[in-house]
Each structure stands twice: as C-alpha cells, then as structure tokens.
Structure 1
Amino acid sequence: MNVDTAHRLFNAPGPKGQKRAELYSALSLVIILGLISLALINFGAHGGLDPERWLFIIQPEILKFYGEGLVATLKVTAVAGVFGLVLGSMLAIMRVSPNRALSRTVGAYVEVTRSLPTLLVLYFTLLLLPYYGITMPIFWQLVAAMTITNASMIAEILRGCILALPKGQMEAGLALGATRGTTMRTVIFPQAFTDSMPALIAQLIFLLKSSTLGYVISYNELLFKSRVIGEFSEEIVTAMIFVVVIFLVVNVTVGRALLFLHGRYERSQRGDAPRKKRITHAEPALA
C-alpha cells in the first residue's frame, strides 16, 4: 500500500502514536514468547519432545500423505478465491450503484451472508440442498460455502476502496462522454482494486485457513489428513503440531509472495522500477 492509499484509508499516527504502537507490539511479543516457552516446557516434561515421537513424520509415506492434503487445501482455496473475487467484485460494483433498489438489495445480501459463519453455510450446502434434490460433490460443497461468505467480505473491502477515491474521477469520466459503467470499469475499479490488495491478500490467507472446515465433511484437506495420520500412529498431538507448522509456512510464504508482487506492480505503475543497467563510469562527452 503506497502513501497516498494509506492517507485515503486512515490517518497516519503521530510520533507518540508510533512509539505507543511499538511499545504494545514489544509487550505482546514478550507475552507470546513467554506463553510459547511455558507450553514447550510443559510439553517436554510429559515426553512430547522425545525423538521417537517425531521420527515417524519423516517417513516417505507420511510426507506423501501430508503432501496430498496440502495440494487439496491449495486447490480448494484457489478455486474458492477466484470465485469469491469475481462475485465480490460484482457485489461491490452493485453496492455503489446509483440504483437505490439494486444497491439496497445487494447490501442486505452482503450484510446477511458476511454475518453467517462459514460452517453454518457449509451445513446448508451439505444438508439442506440435498433435501431439495440439489447434490454436489464434497469439493464443490466446500467451495460454495467458502465463496458465499468470503465474497461478501471482499465486496466490502472493494466498496470501501471505491468510496475512498475522489468523486471527481467519476465526474471527469462523465464529462468526457464516458458512461458511468465504462468509467467504473476502466478508471475507478482498477484503482480501488490496487488499493485494496493488502486487505485482499489478508482475506486470501483467511480463506486458506477456512479450508480446514473440509474436515467436517471429510474432504481430504490438510487437517483431515493430519487426523488420519495421528490416529494411525497414535500420535495425535505430534501430527497436529506438524500441520500447524505447515500452515504457518504456507501462509507466510503466500502472503510474502503476493505482497512482493503487489509492490513490484506499484513501483512499475509509478515508473520507479529498479534499472537493469547500472552506470559505473561517466560517458564521454560528444564533441
């Protein structure tokens, strides 16, 4: 997020606010590290750190089983993310429509669906839809539940960024003879989408974690695979700790990669991308 975007979305803290934020962050880090240390000490006192309780994880069959669960998790997250982004974009544009009936109807839908827990929507697709003769594979049941709830959250993120843009841009587009829809599609929405990238990345990470709800419907995602491994090896805690590590690595990697790509895009838009050729000596003057 660049400086202009940050100023549009919130007021930058002053010197005292920055020092206060740094102090609270340091205290929070100390408390978290202390709790983790106490948990590890207690876990080790009960034999949880014994090597024989961890060596089974590095067996090729176990790692392959975890890998299959990770692929299934990433697959459902990617599909639900694409559908949620498309649906959320449509909802955001309709929410800022000058048509009050359309705006209020979509607003009511967004408020209801984003207030519902994803698990409740998943039960709806699992139990209620088959009652009316609508059946879907487990994969698409999970995708539908994740898409419905996350699309509403994405819609609110995009709507906020659209409203944060100067109103003069829409007026300028209309003055140049463009329609409201064309101006929204070619001028307003691309800017709002770029400004909302950090929030959308955070929403994608949340979506990745929501994929663990597939555990409820026996979808072979990472958490479900971990439970199977834990029951087979009789080391439930060890298997769950390992899957926590996997989620941490995946979440951090995906988040950093997307933020890096977003930063590269913003620098290219500003025209200050790093030069490929570096001049190390002065060019001779022409006669």
Structure 2
Amino acid sequence: MTSVLYDVPGPRAVLRNRILGVATVLVVLGAIAFIVYRFAESGQFSPSKWYIFTFSAVWEQILEALGNTLAAFALAAILSLVLGFALAIGRLSEHAWVRVPVTAVTELFRAVPVLVLMMLLYYGLPVIGIKMEPYWAVVIALMAYNGSVLAEVFRAGVESLPRGQKEAGYAIGLRKNGVMRLILLPQAIRAMLPVIVAQLVVTMKDTALGFIITYPELLYYAKLLSSQQGRPILQSAFIIGGIYIVMCLILSGIAKYLEIRTRHSPKLQALAADNAAVMHEGTDTEIIVAQKGAGKFDGTSTGA
C-alpha cells in the first residue's frame, strides 16, 4: 500500500519504529534522571542554595532587571522593524545608486556580531570623544543587526510573490509605491510573520549580551546573584532562564494570535479579493495588448 508522499510502513517497519521510539524515550528519561541525581548529589536542591530567593528585595530587583530587559527589547524591536522596512525597500529599488549602498550597509550589519557592535559603541566611541549609555549601546546594536536580518526577510517575502501581481498592478495604473503598499507588502508580511516573530525572539534573547557592557538586565543581575553567599549559580540560571522562556512563549503566543486574527480579518479578506480582481484585470489587459499586437483584437475579446 502506498501514499502520494511515501510508502506506508509494513508490520516490520511499524514494529521497528515503535522500538526506536521507546528506546529514545528511555534514553531521554535516563539522561534527565542522571542530571537530577547529580544535582541532588552536589546539594543543588538544598534549602541553603535557594535561600536567597526567599527575600522580597531580591524579587523586586529581578523585576527591575526584567523591566530593563523589556525596555531595551521593545525599542530595539520597533526600530529593527522600521530599519528592516527601509533597507528592504532600498534593496528592491530599481536605481543602482540606491540599491548598491543599501545592500552594502545591510551586509555589513549582518556580518558584524551583536556583541562586537555593543562593545564598539560602548567602549570604542569614548576613544573619539563620544560617550554612550549602556542602554543605547544595546538598543542600537540590536537594531542594526536585527534590522538588517529583517530586511532580508521582507525582501524575500516580496520577491516570493508571483511576478504577475506586480505587473497587474502596473497594468491598472498603480505607481511602484502603490503596488508595494497595497499589493505586495501586506501579503509578504502575512507570509513571513513566523520568521519575523522568530527574529524578534532572537532580539529578546540577545538583550542578555548587554551584561558585558554593564547594562543591568536579567543576566547581569543573575551574575550578581551567583556571587552571593552559597554561590547559587545554577539556581540563578534556572530562575532567569525560566523568565526568558516565559517571555518567548508569550511573544510566540501573541504572534499566533495575530496570525489567526489576520487570517480571519474582513479587511485582509477584502484586500485578497481586490488583489484577485487586480490579477484578473491585469490578465485581461495583457491579453488585449497581445491581441492588438497580433492584429486580432475586434473590441469584444475578454481574457478567460
């Protein structure tokens, strides 16, 4: 028995897959059990290791560090989206004097690691007499790197659309900015929304690099906690890592909600219908032009 995409496994293959599945689960459970055993043996579950987290002042400072992390992420995310749009439109320009410099800037920002950008802004600029606060060094570095990556995401989304949509927009008299704004960008953003959200999650996690330049975010405070009495290194990592996981899950949930909302949005459904009408009208126009060029147009032909 076969399927369109693959051969349906027979009894032996089913048995082999079940054995492999059970073996994989046992290996994973064994690894987890070993890690828990080593933690227990080294005293990582002892109350003295977690005692520091019983103080309300510690949680207040964790919340303050969380606020600093979210403040850097929020501004960096907004600026990254704006920069990504600007660079993507520049890369899609038909003018070489616009496209070439924008391409060079995009590739430069993509090639330089975020941490290197932060250190250049915070430690390098004072050499030439410019002092920058850690917050702005983190935000600008995240904006430059993630904006250049998002520029490629937007550009790929626009170029993945059928070429006929752009040509149909031109056929009914739209200018390039109208074609981009009304036809191409809405569809590209919907198609690339999962990738955009994934990059924003990377932006959120990269705020942790700010501790290198003394920005008081979550990882910076976790480092301070790990140096306290009892050295709760793993415990601090668990608490702070759990906060990062929750933030990423919330961001992914918001993205999923937006995806469902846009899929059922009446405005976007109307936009899709308008785009289909534009495609149909553009096809009719192309057929009429072709028939005129061949001398076969009699004024009654319509594209099928």
Place the TM-score, normalised by the shorter chain, in its bin.
Answer: 0.7 to 0.9
Q: SS state of the match for residue 92, structure 1?
A: helix
Q: Which shows bigger deviation, 168-177 or 69-78?
A: 168-177
Query: Equivalents in 2 of 1:211, 1:235: separation in Å?
Result: 22
Match of 1:41 among 28, 37, 59: 37
2:61 pairs with 1:65:
yes
Alignment gaps of 5+ in structure 1: 1-12, 272-287
Q: Which residue of 2 aligns with 1:257?
A: 254
Quick check: 1:69–1:220 contact (8 Å CA) kept in 2? yes
Report the CA distance shift for 1:87/1:31 in structure 2 as closer, same or farther (over 3 A).
farther
Following superposition, the deviation at residue 261 of structure 1 comes to 2.2
Q: Which residue of 2 aligns with 1:157?
A: 153
Quick check: 1:201–1:259 contact (8 Å CA) kept in 2? no
Quick check: 2:161–2:188 contact (8 Å CA) kept in 1? yes
Give the % identical residues.
29
Quick check: 1:212–1:221 contact (8 Å CA) kept in 2? yes
Report the CA distance shift for 1:57/1:93 in structure 2 as closer, same or farther (over 3 A).
same
Q: Which residue of 1 aligns with 2:296?
A: none
Q: Which shows bigger deviation, 91-100 or 225-234?
A: 225-234
* Aligned residue identity for 1:77: F
Query: Equivalents in 2 of 1:156, 1:28: separation in Å?
Result: 38
Match of 2:101 among 95, 98, 105: 105
Alignment gaps of 5+ in structure 2: 270-304
Query: Equivalents in 2 of 1:52, 1:110: separation in Å?
Result: 50
Following superposition, the deviation at residue 30 of structure 1 comes to 6.8
Query: Equivalents in 1 of 2:181, 2:22: separation in Å?
Result: 43
Following superposition, the deviation at residue 31 of structure 1 comes to 5.8
Q: Which residue of 1 aligns with 2:180?
A: 184
Quick check: 1:73–1:211 contact (8 Å CA) kept in 2? yes
Match of 1:126 among 115, 122, 126: 122
Following superposition, the deviation at residue 28 of structure 1 comes to 7.8
Quick check: 1:138–1:219 contact (8 Å CA) kept in 2? yes
Query: Equivalents in 1 of 2:126, 2:52: separation in Å?
Result: 41
Q: Which shows bigger deviation, 124-133 or 149-158?
A: 124-133
Q: Which residue of 1 aligns with 2:88?
A: 92
2:151 pairs with 1:139:
no
Q: Which shows bigger deviation, 102-111 or 165-174?
A: 102-111
2:77 pairs with 1:81:
yes
Query: Equivalents in 2 of 1:27, 1:201: separation in Å?
Result: 35
Q: Please give the root-mean-square deviation of Cα atoms over the aligned residues, in Å.
A: 2.7
Query: Equivalents in 2 of 1:122, 1:160: separation in Å?
Result: 28
Query: Equivalents in 2 of 1:164, 1:41: separation in Å?
Result: 51
Q: Which shows bigger deviation, 165-174 or 27-36?
A: 27-36
Match of 1:217 among 213, 220, 225: 213
Q: Which has the larger radius of gyration?
A: 2
Equivalent residues in 2 for 1:222-237 (5 A)?
A: 222-233=218-229, 234-237=231-234
Q: Report the number of matched residues.
A: 256
Query: Equivalents in 1 of 2:256, 2:28: separation in Å?
Result: 25
Q: Which residue of 1 aligns with 2:236?
A: 239
Q: SS state of the match for residue 130, structure 2?
A: coil
Query: Equivalents in 2 of 1:218, 1:29: separation in Å?
Result: 42
Q: SS state of the match for residue 228, structure 2?
A: helix
Following superposition, the deviation at residue 252 of structure 1 comes to 1.3
* Aligned residue identity for 1:132: I
User: What is the TM-score normalised by the length of structure 2?
Assistant: 0.76
Quick check: 1:146–1:210 contact (8 Å CA) kept in 2? yes
Q: Which residue of 1 aligns with 2:195?
A: 199
Report the CA distance shift for 1:257/1:33 in structure 2 as closer, same or farther (over 3 A).
farther
Deviations 1:251-274 (CA, angstroms, capped at 9, x unpaired): 112212221222222122576xxx
Q: Which has the higher contact order (CA 8 A, sep 6+)?
A: 1
Following superposition, the deviation at residue 214 of structure 1 comes to 0.9
Q: Which residue of 2 aligns with 1:267?
A: 264
Report the CA distance shift for 1:133/1:89 in structure 2 as closer, same or farther (over 3 A).
same
Following superposition, the deviation at residue 97 of structure 1 comes to 1.3
Query: Equivalents in 2 of 1:105, 1:231: separation in Å?
Result: 47
Following superposition, the deviation at residue 69 of structure 1 comes to 0.8
Following superposition, the deviation at residue 27 of structure 1 comes to 8.5
2:144 pairs with 1:148:
yes
2:183 pairs with 1:169:
no
